[in-house]
Structure 1
Amino acid sequence: MIQELNDEQLERYGRHILLDEIGYEGQLLLAQKRVAIIGLGGLGSPVALYLASAGIGQLTLIDFDQVDLSNLQRQLIHNQQRVGQNKAISAQQSVELLNKNVKTETITTKLTDDELLKITKQHDLVLDCSDNFETRYQLNRICHKCQIPLVSGAAIRWEGQVTTYDFRKNKQPCYQCLFPLKSNQGSIQESCSQNGVIAPLLGIIGSIQALEAIKCLLELPTLAGKLTIIDGLTMELRQFNITQDLSCPVCS
């Protein structure tokens, strides 16, 4: 584990170190953290790039999908030369070009609950950048079980949403409190591929996810207990309180 920042890191992260809320100690703390990113698509692209540029010590990039030409409209971590390549591998190449100080690992297979549980326990925070409900419910269950913070984002058409589930704290609501599984069955297959999405919206939501992750790792105030919704068409921003469902099968 890194014990101090070298001269190159001090220069690279100087604008962070100038912030009272981060400083030298905070930047050193970020360099000691391990973060897992699930999904290296529209949301995972800005998340991975911003966390790499921010100096997170290790990023584990998880995606079993391949880069497709239609992805390049919004998945800016990939490029035309990498069409057909695994997304996690492609993202790793971009991260390594951006910041050599960040260690990266890739997982290119679909994970079972047991495999994801083992991986989650090895990290300080998980970001849900997936594009399907099955993965979101799976990550919610496992992060709650491991008491690992989960930063969740989603975007479709013109609307995006983001929140943080800080399972390090007691009596925190979870994803299933917000979206009960039974009531969500009708939209379980909804995704960008069927409904479309405006490209810059993914950058907005993914950037907020990266910001939430940094704040959570530094134990600064986050969106825990709140859901932020952004309408990209009207540029309206709404925020709602999330309360724990006392009958939730995951967190109650």
Structure 2
Amino acid sequence: MSSLARYSRQVVLREIGVNGQQVLRDSSALIIGLGGLGTPAALYLAGAGLGRLVLSDFDRVAASNLHRQILYRQAQVGESKLDAAREQLEALNTDCRIECRKGPLDDAALVAAARDVDVVLDCTDNFATRFAINRACVTARKPLVSGAAIRFDGQLAVFDTARATACYACLYPVAGESQETCEEAGILGPVVGTVGTRQALAVLKLLLGLGDDRGVLWIWDALTDTSRRLSIPRDPSCPVCGTLHAR
């Protein structure tokens, strides 16, 4: 299949064009977490023609994943998510190079992986990992697209300390002692899918220079289909990025 035929519907957009499509082909992203957020994000980024996707996860496909983690198929239950994801993404688009990093990644590996790509997507579901990913992105000076969803609620934010915006630790300076999980609280598939899709959209806009979502928190209530956009103030005393901004 020719590139012109595959990407014709987005190349025709004047904001993208042939040059924008080449930008995507030359770009790379790291997706950490291949669950309800990471799977739709990976599908749309591969479909859009991103040249390289680096995937990281440590889990296996479970039957309980299938209602929302739309990259996987029933026959893949029990397989490593990395192997299952690679199979599906390569079947979708052989132009997109898929690389896998078995998780969980330690701090040094996170920094190295972040430095090796243009943008990082946090598609994980626990605060400890989110804080570690944020530290790595601040150290590597790479933009971070962070998504979260539970029950009928979704959130999305783009952090880019290289552009002097807030980091994740500015928004959440201290992790809560307890954190609900989707297993405990529940999640409707299209809710987490919408957030993951918006993460892919935010990445494409960032790479193509379309608009600027940095430093803004998007909060969505799927039950009422209402949303808010809030500016995230940078914390000069942030233990993660405060010293960086002071330079």
Number of corresponding residues: 242
* 1:76 maps to amino acid: I
Shift of 1:168: 2.8
The 2-side partners of 1:42 and 1:31 are apart by 25
Shift of 1:232: 0.8
| Aligned equivalent of 2:173 | 180
Deviations 1:8-64 (A, max 9, x none): 111111111111111111100100111110011000111000000000000011100
Give yes or no for the alignment of 1:191 onto 2:184: no
| Aligned equivalent of 2:245 | none
* 2:169 maps to amino acid: Q
Give yes or no for the alignment of 1:146 onto 2:140: yes
The 2-side partners of 1:135 and 1:223 are apart by 23
Helix, strand or coil: the match of 1:47? helix
| Aligned equivalent of 2:222 | 232
| Aligned equivalent of 1:52 | 46
The 2-side partners of 1:35 and 1:10 are apart by 23
The 2-side partners of 1:159 and 1:39 are apart by 19
Shift of 1:109: 2.9
Shift of 1:240: 0.7
Given that 1:46 and 1:77 are in contact with CA atoms closer than 8 Å, whether structure 2 keeps it comes out as yes
Report sequence identity in percent.
Answer: 45
| Aligned equivalent of 1:93 | 87
Deviations 1:81-106 (A, max 9, x none): 11111112111111011111100011
Shift of 1:193: 1.5
| TM-score under structure 1 length normalisation | 0.93
- Contiguous gaps of at least 5 residues in structure 1: 1-6
Shift of 1:218: 1.3
The 2-side partners of 1:122 and 1:245 are apart by 27
Given that 2:122 and 2:145 are in contact with CA atoms closer than 8 Å, whether structure 1 keeps it comes out as yes
Given that 1:150 and 1:167 are in contact with CA atoms closer than 8 Å, whether structure 2 keeps it comes out as no
| Aligned equivalent of 2:100 | 106
Shift of 1:132: 0.9
Shift of 1:222: 3.0
Given that 2:161 and 2:241 are in contact with CA atoms closer than 8 Å, whether structure 1 keeps it comes out as no
| TM-score under structure 2 length normalisation | 0.95
Helix, strand or coil: the match of 2:210? coil
* 2:68 maps to amino acid: R
Give yes or no for the alignment of 1:68 onto 2:62: yes
* 1:214 maps to amino acid: L
Give yes or no for the alignment of 1:212 onto 2:202: yes
Shift of 1:174: 0.7
| Aligned equivalent of 1:10 | 4
